Amino acid sequence: MSVTAEDWDARVTRLSEKMPDNLRRAVDWLREPSRLWIRVIAAILLILGGIFSILPVLGLWMLPLGLALLAQDVPVLKVPMERAARWIEAKWAAFQAWRKS
């Protein structure tokens, strides 16, 4: 099955539709094309925070979030992010099936 950048965009849209209204509006505001520099700066800060995850408050959770935010403006990242999301979903489903048995 082929993975495209549009798959990642559709995933982000589906996820934002499931968010509470305040968070969804913030994500939609951030995804507007005119917010390019805000997204890039926030993504770089999140990635750096993920790299320095040994410090309190900062953590590895920041790295994928920063990459996902950066993928909005760097189309080359969309396909790897979609593949990673599918891999995580498959592993989660396998874990859930194993836990139920």
What pTM does this model have? Answer: 0.82
Place of tokens 């410090």: 55
Cα(71)–Cα(60) distance, integer angstroms? 18
What would the pLDDT profile of 31-61 be if each residue is shown by its tens digit? 999 999 999 999 999 999 888 877 777 788 8
Cα(48)–Cα(43) distance, integer angstroms? 9
What would the pLDDT profile of 84-96 be if each residue is shown by its tens digit? 999 999 999 999 9
Reading the block at residue 22, the tokens are 């305040």
Give me the residue spans of the domains in the chain.
5-74
